[in-house]
Structure 1
Amino acid sequence: MSQSQHWTPIRGQFCAPVDNLRDLTRKSSRGEFSLGPVLMALLRTAGLEVRRVS
């Protein structure tokens, strides 16, 4: 497996990271993906306090 490819268990095939980025971009344009929850999870994992601000 080359460095530019990785195994994607959901699709069951090899794909380039750019394919994942394209996929997320499409999902985002349809309102099916938001980066907010991903960033919040990373902050919590790093031990930082996460507060919601309205």
Structure 2
Amino acid sequence: MEYNWAEIEEKHEENMKSIRESFVSIQRSYHIMMGLIILYVGIQIGVML
């Protein structure tokens, strides 16, 4: 069975790129969520004081 290494390499590169992009977007949304939670907690503390 003959493998086309260039093609396999290319597919692997594409997969890695898409994985990296989705990881970055997850990280970004995680930071946004943390920011909102911190903001919410800060407002709650401010209301209690």
Q: TM-score range by the shorter chain?
A: 0.3 to 0.5
Relative contact order: is structure 1 or structure 2 higher (C-alpha 8 Å, sep ≥ 6)?
A: 1
Select the structure that is richer in strand: 1
**Structure ranking higher in helix proportion:** 2
Q: TM-score, normalised to structure 1's length?
A: 0.34
Larger radius of gyration between Structure 1 and Structure 2: 2
